Structure 1
Amino acid sequence: MNITTRLIEAGDPEMISEAFQRQGWEKPEALYHRYVEEQRNGERVTLIAEADGEFAGYVNVIWSSSYPAFRENRIPEINDFNVLIKYRRRGIGSILLDEAEGRASERSGTVGIGVGLFADYGPAQVMYVKRGYIPDGKGIYCHQQYVAEDQTVVIDHDIALYLTKKL
């Protein structure tokens, strides 16, 4: 399998959205139009992976994260990292992360990433630790705030632990 990476282009959003819909995930086309625009504005880089010329996944590098600890320390954030299920366990995720980390290293000596806390994120949690990411020490973050002791939260896709890696 020939795996290549490239930047997102204006004609990609429909194709990306449809690929995720075919596997039962709702990822609206408008999201990817926003990624194209933010890349054009220099706010992010969206990297696309293709396997033998077919869309296989993507990852973003956000230059000014919405996560406070990254934003305050000017740590680029790897964000919204997805590989289609049928292409997993073939090295595509590692290729995307290598490329994202390379882009981040052009601006910073550290890169950050957030990871969900429930079992669906288990493979990502393991991958990040194996790649040298460690918790940033700020604890759990959910709905734009750090989770305090004795606070009750819903474990959903918005709850995360943020990790950093020295590049």
Structure 2
Amino acid sequence: MGQDIKIRDMVETDCQLISAGFAAQGWDNKLSEIYAGYFREQKEGEREVILAELNGEFAGYLTIVWETKHDAFRNKGIPEIKDLNVLKKHQRQGIASKLMDEAEKRISKRSKYSGLGVGLYNDYGKAQIMYVKRGYIPDGRGICYNDREVVPGQNVKLDDDLCLMLIKELTSQT
């Protein structure tokens, strides 16, 4: 059977669907309230939530935040791709790449650049490699924690909020 990957915008009924998908793989921190907030922000024009389906089944999502909390991006009007997640059972099938293609296409209509933050521990290894292969480079400002630059001597926790911020110049073909 061929792989039919469909990319679409989030609708309100997806909140429970997404939450259930991640709960099934043991991620109880992906609560439906998070997705309800994403949907509300999408309705208000602050965020876009892009979903991927594989053969009609929810497979993953990412969001675009048009005015990010990350100062360096916000001050330059650079939108941020945030929270790219593909269900484990659907990884390594091109879904993240399709989601990124769509996000970059949408961003290129409003900005010359796309930004994102990537985590620094092992769970983010695949994402780190994918972003570099897609042409993302460090923004030159070091790492940040909760969207704030980490300064020399500062102690921070190695968790999902410790990121290296990356940037990519988008082309008209993106």
Q: Which whole-Å deviations, capped at 9, do the CAs of 1:31-79 have from their partners, x for residues lacking one?
A: 1111111111111110000001100000001100011111111001000
- For structure 1, the residue ranges without an aligned partner over 5 or more in a row are none
Number of the residue aligned with 1:115: 118
TM-score (norm 1): 0.98
Find out whether 1:70 has 2:92 as its counterpart: no
Find out whether 1:56 has 2:59 as its counterpart: yes
Number of the residue aligned with 2:27: 25
Give the residue type in structure 2 aligned to 1:35: Y
Find out whether 1:105 has 2:108 as its counterpart: yes
SS for the counterpart of 2:158 is coil
The answer as to whether partners of 2:50 and 2:61 remain within 8 angstroms in 1 is yes
Give the residue type in structure 1 aligned to 2:25: Q
2:163 to 148, 160, 163: 160
- For structure 2, the residue ranges without an aligned partner over 5 or more in a row are none
Displacement after TM superposition at 1:150 (Å): 2.0
Displacement after TM superposition at 1:87 (Å): 0.4
CA distance in 1, matches of 2:91, 2:20: 18
TM-score (norm 2): 0.94
Give the residue type in structure 1 aligned to 2:69: S
The answer as to whether partners of 2:70 and 2:148 remain within 8 angstroms in 1 is no
RMSD: 0.8
When residues 145 and 56 of structure 1 are mapped into structure 2, their CA distance, relative to the original with a 3 A threshold, is: same
Give the residue type in structure 1 aligned to 2:5: I
Q: Which whole-Å deviations, capped at 9, do the CAs of 1:105-133 have from their partners, x for residues lacking one?
A: 01000000100011111110000000000
* Mean CA deviation greater in 137-146 or 65-74: 137-146
SS for the counterpart of 2:116 is strand
CA distance in 2, matches of 1:52, 1:144: 36
Find out whether 1:42 has 2:49 as its counterpart: no
Runs of 4+ in 1 over 4 A off after TM superposition: none
Number of the residue aligned with 2:152: 149
SS for the counterpart of 2:164 is strand
Aligned-pair identity (%): 50
2:98 to 95, 108, 118: 95
